[in-house]
Each structure stands twice: as C-alpha cells, then as structure tokens.
Structure 1
C-alpha cells in the first residue's frame, strides 16, 4: 500500500500527459477545420468560470481574504499571461505545426520557469550536489530538444492517400510549409515564456490570496471577457460563435474537463 502511495504522483503525471495529448489531437482537428481560436478560448473559459464559481463560493467563503484592487490587477494580468494570450499562441502554434510537436514543446515550460525563477531567487542551483547538476543537465537536454524540434521537421512516416491533410500539404509549397512551421514554433516559444511567467505570477498571488478556486474562477472570468472582446473587435462575423460541428463541442467540453481535473487534483 505504501509503495502505491509513493507512485501516486507518477501516475498523476502520466494521466495528465495522456489527457494533454488527447486534448492536443482534438485541438489540432478543430483549428484545422476552421474553428476560431478566440471563440474556443471564450467558450472554454466561460464554462470553466460557471463550474468553478459555486465551488469557490461554498468551499472558500469562510477562509477567503479581502479582495483588493491590487489582487484584482494581478489576477487580470494572470488571465492574460496564463489563459487568454498563452492559449491563443498555443492554438496558433498547434495549427501551424502538429499535435505531437505541441506535446513535446510544452515540456520546455518547467525549464523556462526554472530559468526565469533564478533571478528572483525562487530557485537555486548548487553544483556540489547531484540534484543541482541534474537540474543543469535536464535544462540543457530540454533546450536542445526544443531547438531540434524547431529547426528539423523530419519526414512523414505514413502517407494517407486521399486524406485532407495530405491534399492540403500538396497544395502548399515546401517554402510555405517551412514558413508556417517557423511561425508555429515561434508562437509556441512565446506561449511558453508567457506560461512560465504565469507560474511566477501565481506564486505571488498564492501568497497574497491563498484561495485556489476563487482566484482561478476570477482568472477564467477575466480571460473569457478578454477573449470575447478581442474576438468581437477583430471579427464581426457572428456565425463564428455557432458550434455546428460535434468535434468543436467535444473539444471545448474535453478541454474544460481536463482543466477542472488539474485544478482539483
């Protein structure tokens, strides 16, 4: 029984990686089919707010500290760095690259977070100990892998004749595909830096407002409003808000369920 408890964090990490992999496949499908990125983010964050608000109200009503203007500003910035802009860049990246690439590239987040935390003394390195040397080696390996994924695509292992993906690839010139891959990689890289900065911001918010459900509910609300306003300002076509494909609905619901399970775990 004790061994099972010790392995519990490992099982959780594997389950989260599997959930993210399925989510990336669904996201690749819906963005390729033409679903608007900001519409997806708005729906996802709105549904998350609806589910989190009752939990925040009932579970943290006795322990919730005063919500000051400063905390609200931090949560607003947190919504931009950790939800709205990060998710938008991630969706652009997954549209221009692949679901596999997105899964691999996300592994850079802990590395970038670690590097960004060093100047703020939130992390430390002591090369005298094996743990310190392991941090350095792990950082270099992850960075090297990310650079390799960015500059080298490789060749397709399987060709599906007649598929929409192959037809689209044939129409695009080699230089155009390379350009799209580069844009997608840069979008992923920018999203990684934003997501890493969000973790540092969350450390500050957690000290000043230690209410997990309340802070997350406010953040998702801000993110939904930000995404909706930005979408309406650049695209007045209201038809993009109709989810007329089953895969769009499934992708939104699944993304929300993954997010809520991570929050509650």
Structure 2
C-alpha cells in the first residue's frame, strides 16, 4: 500500500512542477505550439525504445485501424488539449489553470453518457451522485471564471522566477493583465478534449491492449501533428532553437519526466490499485502548484480561485463516489439476469452463486 501512495504523490508533484516549467517557458517568450511539439518529440524518443524492448515478444501487428485511433488520440489528448491548456495558462496563472483540470471527471462523465459508455441511472444513489458532482464541478468552474475576490495568499515571497528568467519584462506583470474569462474558456475546452481522448483511448485499449506501444504511437502522432501545426504559424528558427536555458529544461522535463517516467509510474499504480485510486490524488497537484506558484512565481491566491477549487474538488469526489458505488449494483444486476440453474445431463449447477475463489481480502 505504501509504494502506490508514494508513486502517486511523486506523480502529482512532478506534474505540478510541469505546470511551473510551462509557465516559465511561455513567459520567457517560447511559442507554446513549439513547446508542445518538443514535449512529445522528447516523449516519443523516450517511449519508443521502451515499448520495443518491453513488448517485442507480446506485441501484435499494428493495423490501419489502430493507427487511425492513435492519430485521433494524439489529436484530442495531445495536440489540441495541450495547446489549449498552455494558452489558457499563458493568460491566467498556473494555479488557475491547474484548478480547472479537476473538471476532467465531470467532462468525461458527460461525454461517456453521450457515447453511451456510461449509464445515468438517475433513480439510484450512484447516478444522483454523479449528476450532483457534475453540477458542482461546473459551478466551481463558473465561480473561477467570474469571481476573483480578495488576495488570500498566506505568505508573500520575494522570489519571482518569471522576472528572473524572462527576457520580456512585461511577462512579470502577468497577474495584473490576466484575462480570466478567456483563460477559463481555453482551459475548460482543453478538459473536454482531454475527456474525449479518454473515451477514445478506452476503445483503443480494448482493440490493442499493448500499453507502451499504443502510448508511443500516440506520442509520435502528436509530435507530427503539433510540429505541423507549429510550423504553419511560426517558422522563425529562433523559436525552434534550443539552448541551455529554461526552454530546454522545460521540454526535457515535460517529455522525459512527465510523459515518460511518470507515465510508467501511473500505469504501475493503476495495475496495482485501480483507476479510482489514481483519480483521488488529482487535487493534490492543485495544492502543490498553488504553493510553488506563490513561492517561486510571485503569483497571488484569490478567494474566488480557492472557493471554485473547493467546489470542483467536491464535485470530483462526488463523481468518484458515485462511480465507486455503481459497480457492485451493476454486477448484481447482471448476475440476476442469468438463469439460476443449468441442466446438463441431469446435473444442476447453480451459476448465480458467487465463486469462492475471489475472497474480499484477495483484492
């Protein structure tokens, strides 16, 4: 139990650091489209050899359908979602953008309903909890967007890495010129595209259950898409040149640590404890980003951000509670639909009886 907990805590801390590096690189004047392209280029270079060596014996043939699904996954979860997210962070703050990511379970639930991968079951407590959690999350997002409130930062640090690393003095005053309405729209739209990726990714996982290979394929597709997208808007060689500065550090950290190493850690935690266990650690990233942003970036925490984050996190756990309590009911419903007995050569077998093999303490 201790190792999965430590793994997920490290995962959230690394991704909190990713938000800080994103903010520093964009504030330094790096084109966000170039940043996304380089992130997935480094991720592809890291994951492709890993997938080859770990799954070379078990991997099946990659079909055109798998390539097509990988392309769509890269488009929704990589190119579009990441470009929208960084664009939203650029005009707001790292804490604000991170708070909106907690809308992901609610967005995923709505899209899963639309694609008929989820049942509403409004008459059950689990269905009512998922609906209530979705509305709580939406309400929190609206509060984040339309209400700023007073400064409630518990400390005020004199350290501001944006001012120290940026070659653009105006970037240090981002807090005063932030456009929270546009930023929230971009970040929330990013959540919906990321949720769409999760829905499509579940289909890809069923058709091609080789996790490392499918993830490497998605990263390669995202690299091609985001590179083409970036070249359409910015062909300035200066933007693509990497030196030993914050830009290189940001793309290496994003590609290798966030999209490479931590992806393996998350996969291991999902295998050991399940997706619900992984999801409940998501709000920890918001706390870490809020602390790091106020200590290192000179950002201020406002009452509206805190209240909106509380509502979003409450909605997150309400949806997860509903998801966690619907599985036993669904299994009971499926078992109740089976015939109670089967007559085979005059031998009656009770198929509705639960097998003794799966004891409660064996999970």
Task: Tell me the TM-score range normalised by the shorter chain.
Answer: 0.7 to 0.9
- From 80, 83, 108, the counterpart of 1:88: 83
- From 16, 19, 25, the counterpart of 1:24: 19
Partner of 1:240 in structure 2? 239
- Counterpart Cα distance in 1 of 2:13 and 2:147: 25
Q: Label 1:26 to 1:241 Cα distance change in 2 as closer, same or farther (>3 A).
A: same
| TM-score of the aligned structures, taking structure 2 as reference length | 0.64
Q: Determine if contact 2:27/2:171 at 8 Å carries over to the other structure.
A: no
Give 1:245 deviation, angstroms. 5.5
**Tell me, which stretches of 5 or more residues in structure 2 are unaligned?**
266-363
1:259 and 2:254 matched: no
Secondary structure of 2:53's aligned partner: helix
Q: Label 1:10 to 1:141 Cα distance change in 2 as closer, same or farther (>3 A).
A: farther
Q: CA RMSD in A?
A: 2.7
Partner of 1:197 in structure 2? 196
- Counterpart Cα distance in 2 of 1:46 and 1:170: 29
Q: Determine if contact 2:28/2:171 at 8 Å carries over to the other structure.
A: no
Higher fraction of helix: 1
Secondary structure of 1:213's aligned partner: helix
Alignment of 1:42-61 (within 5 A): 42-61=37-56
Of residues 13-22 and 114-123 in structure 1, the stretch that sits farther from structure 2 once superposed is: 13-22
Secondary structure of 1:118's aligned partner: helix
Secondary structure of 1:244's aligned partner: coil
- Counterpart Cα distance in 2 of 1:130 and 1:13: 29
Give 1:168 deviation, angstroms. 3.9
Give 1:154 deviation, angstroms. 2.7
Give 1:170 deviation, angstroms. 10
- Counterpart Cα distance in 2 of 1:99 and 1:171: 14
Of residues 51-60 and 194-203 in structure 1, the stretch that sits farther from structure 2 once superposed is: 51-60
1:134 and 2:133 matched: no
Partner of 2:97 in structure 1? 102
- Counterpart Cα distance in 1 of 2:113 and 2:230: 36
Q: Determine if contact 1:20/1:103 at 8 Å carries over to the other structure.
A: no
Q: Label 1:171 to 1:145 Cα distance change in 2 as closer, same or farther (>3 A).
A: closer
- From 33, 36, 57, the counterpart of 1:38: 33
Partner of 1:62 in structure 2? 57
Q: Label 1:16 to 1:125 Cα distance change in 2 as closer, same or farther (>3 A).
A: farther
1:155-197 deviations in Å (ceiling 9; x for gaps): 44567889759x748989x8xx46x322211111211111000
- Counterpart Cα distance in 2 of 1:80 and 1:121: 22
1:72-127 deviations in Å (ceiling 9; x for gaps): 11111111101111111111000011100111100001110011112333223445
- Counterpart Cα distance in 2 of 1:264 and 1:218: 15
- Counterpart Cα distance in 1 of 2:49 and 2:173: 49
